Amino acid sequence: MTLKSNRSLLDIDRDHLIHPVTSFRAHEARGATLLQSGKGMWLTDMDGNQLLDAFAGLWCVNVGYGQDSIVEAAAAQMRQLPYATGYFHFGCETTVRLAQKLADLSPEGLDHVYFTLGGSDAVDSAIRYIIHYFNAIGRPSKKQFIALDRGYHGSSTTGAGLTALSNFHRLFDLPHAWQHHIPSPYPYRSELTDDAAIIARSVQQLKDKVAELGADNVAAFFCEPIQGSGGVIVPPKGWLKALRDTCTELDILFVADEVITGFGRTGPLFACEEEGVTPDLMTLAKGLTAGYAPMGALLMSDKVYQGIANGAAPELAIGHGFTYSGHPVSAAVGLEVLRLYTEGGILANGRSVGRRFAAGLNAIADHPLVGDTRGRGLLGAIELVADKDSKARLDSALKIPDRLFAQGYKNGVIFRSFPDNIIGLAPALCASDEEMDEIFARIRKTLDDLL
Ligand code: PMP
């Protein structure tokens, strides 16, 4: 592809393809181009530039690009049976096997799986099944939902309301009246320095919110074990367990949104695992198919499943489902991706290179622009500030997030550039130590270029 043809393709892209975050801004501000191919950690754009992907696409390509065995699994399934609805009576072996595998690998007791197309509809499905559950067990008033500020739970109207990022709410009268938020623990920006105090405060905030709404009205609390799109906010160890236990005490369901943290992103297969937490429901997507096909999943406990199944009005079918739920090709991809994580050694590699990632984050903390670095496993953030001592934010007029992304691209590294001048990092689990060092060398150069 020549430079010229790339330009004209970009013009066509601008004229016809909507990229919601960037299309409605000046074309120049997009700072990106079209991608042509990928292998391992590397992407090649249509100008032939080689880019190190430090964000695994959109925190999803956990096994890296160009994994032939996944392509073969998808092709074989397409040849044999491309479609079988999971909605009514049918199904197919591949989808059943994936459900079995997820039930086996997930935290104890999450034995029932509903497949979706991605994370947003996994969250929507959780809300709908939870409302069915409480109705079925004769507690229909439990319909209020609580989540965290800075949380991200999807882009459907329901998910966008549970999400607590203001641009998702604007114009839509969101959150819905039944959606509520409590503050994010955000340790770096908290005036509390003691982990136990941060945990105790979140617990109290949840208790206060439930008391305000009435325990008989509250259905569930949703949270990400580590908040991703809100700026990779890592709560103290023990926070997740404390919130989980509080939900049990308050008689509300605890939903872990592991769309980002699932599938080795934080080290173990699921972030809940290393915290000793078993949620009542869990939402998954991204790493489940590692970006090779669209798929999400909602896992639920036997208690919730049986509650719905044996409920007050079993003759009423659940009015919920998607044409492509449990899609055989996505399921074949998911099965092969899971095999790569476990038998293929990718999970183990992720844990090992995760130590190099932590060292990279640590080392870059000395840069004059860096106020905080944080992370777990291969999920991390670098927060830039105007002043390290006061933690003062950089002037928004400097448009740091746009400039950072564009400069990183020029330096051959792709990361997420969040508002509040936070760099989000989520490299694939297949990275080598050398590639990890190269990512941080390119990020350091990018920060130097901004000075
Ligand atoms: N939950 C979380 C925690 C997410 O990070 C995302 C996507 N970034 C979603 C839900 C929504 O997933 P999707 O974009 O696949 O609909």
- Boundary of a domain, candidates 342, 372, 394: 342
Does residue 326's CB lie within 6 angstroms of at least one atom of ligand 1?
no
Does residue 285's CB lie within 6 angstroms of at least one atom of ligand 1?
yes
Token pair 């350091």: residue: 444
| Together in a domain, 332 and 352 | no
- Span from the CA of 223 to the centroid of ligand 1 (angstroms): 12
CB 32 within 8 A of CB 55: no
d(CA 2, CA 156): 38
| Together in a domain, 165 and 132 | yes
Q: Can you give the C-alpha Rg of the chain in angstroms? A: 22
Does residue 282's CB lie within 6 angstroms of at least one atom of ligand 1?
no
The DSSP secondary-structure symbol of 55 reads S
d(CA 78, CA 285): 21
- The set of residues, in sequence order, having a beta carbon less than 8 Å from that of 449 and lying 6+ positions away, is 407, 411
Helix residue ranges, H only, 137-270: 157-162, 166-169, 195-213, 239-250
Task: Count up the domains in the chain and report the number.
Answer: 2
d(CA 279, CA 272): 8
Backbone angles phi, psi at 90, to 5 degrees: -85, -175
d(CA 213, CA 192): 27
CB 385 within 8 A of CB 421: yes
86 exposed, middle or buried (CB, 10 Å; 0-12, 13-18, 19+)?
Answer: buried
Does residue 229's CB lie within 6 angstroms of at least one atom of ligand 1?
yes
Instruction: Return the closest-CA partner of residue 296 out of 254, 326, 263.
Output: 326
Q: Is residue 65 part of a domain?
A: no
Does residue 349's CB lie within 6 angstroms of at least one atom of ligand 1?
no
| Together in a domain, 107 and 206 | yes
- Span from the CA of 118 to the centroid of ligand 1 (angstroms): 7
Domain residues for the domain of 138 are 70-342
The DSSP secondary-structure symbol of 187 reads G
| Together in a domain, 352 and 308 | no
3-class DSSP state of 22: coil
| pTM tops 0.90 | yes
Q: Which of 21, 152, 324 to mutate to test the pocket of ligand 1 (most atoms within 8 A of CB)?
A: 152
378, two tokens: 């291969």
CB 232 within 8 A of CB 380: yes
d(CA 221, CA 249): 12
- CATH number for the domain spanning 384: value is 3.90.1150.10
d(CA 341, CA 350): 9
d(CA 265, CA 331): 20
* CA-based torsion, 42, 45, 51, 57: positive or negative: negative
Q: Is residue 101 part of a domain?
A: yes
Please confirm whether the linkage preceding 20 is cis (ω < 30° from 0). no
Nearest atom (ligand 1) to Cα of 120: 16
- Boundary of a domain, candidates 280, 315, 342: 342
Instruction: Return the closest-CA partner of residue 326 out of 155, 131, 59, 100.
Output: 100
| Together in a domain, 270 and 316 | yes
CB count within 10 Å of CB 274 equals: 16
Q: What is the pLDDT of residue 1?
A: 37
Helix residue ranges, H only, 310-413: 328-342, 346-364, 400-410
| Together in a domain, 412 and 327 | no
Backbone angles phi, psi at 217, to 5 degrees: -105, -15
Nearest atom (ligand 1) to Cα of 151: 3
ipTM, 2 dp: 0.99
CB 182 within 8 A of CB 209: yes
* CA-based torsion, 391, 397, 401, 405: positive or negative: negative
| Together in a domain, 240 and 183 | yes
∠ CA 135-141-145, rounded to 5°? 95
- Span from the CA of 427 to the centroid of ligand 1 (angstroms): 17
Does residue 376's CB lie within 6 angstroms of at least one atom of ligand 1?
no
Backbone angles phi, psi at 53, to 5 degrees: -90, 105
Question: pLDDT over 70 for what percent of the chain?
Answer: 95
Q: What is the pLDDT of residue 317?
A: 67
| Together in a domain, 265 and 350 | no
CB 176 within 8 A of CB 168: no
Does residue 350's CB lie within 6 angstroms of at least one atom of ligand 1?
no
Residues of the chain with confidence (pLDDT) below 70: 1-7, 23-32, 312-317
Nearest CA to ligand 1 atom 13: 119
| Together in a domain, 88 and 216 | yes
| Together in a domain, 311 and 327 | yes
| Together in a domain, 338 and 353 | no
Q: Is residue 80 part of a domain?
A: yes
152, two tokens: 């991200």
- Span from the CA of 3 to the centroid of ligand 1 (angstroms): 34
Q: Is residue 170 part of a domain?
A: yes
Q: What is the pLDDT of residue 311?
A: 80
CB 329 within 8 A of CB 74: yes
- Boundary of a domain, candidates 287, 321, 342: 342
CB 44 within 8 A of CB 36: yes
Does residue 267's CB lie within 6 angstroms of at least one atom of ligand 1?
no
403 exposed, middle or buried (CB, 10 Å; 0-12, 13-18, 19+)?
Answer: middle
d(CA 47, CA 274): 43
Does residue 228's CB lie within 6 angstroms of at least one atom of ligand 1?
yes
d(CA 111, CA 348): 25
CB 156 within 8 A of CB 116: no
- Span from the CA of 259 to the centroid of ligand 1 (angstroms): 6
Question: How does pLDDT run across 365-375, given as a tens digit for each residue?
Answer: 999 999 999 99
- CATH number for the domain spanning 180: value is 3.40.640.10
The DSSP secondary-structure symbol of 227 reads B
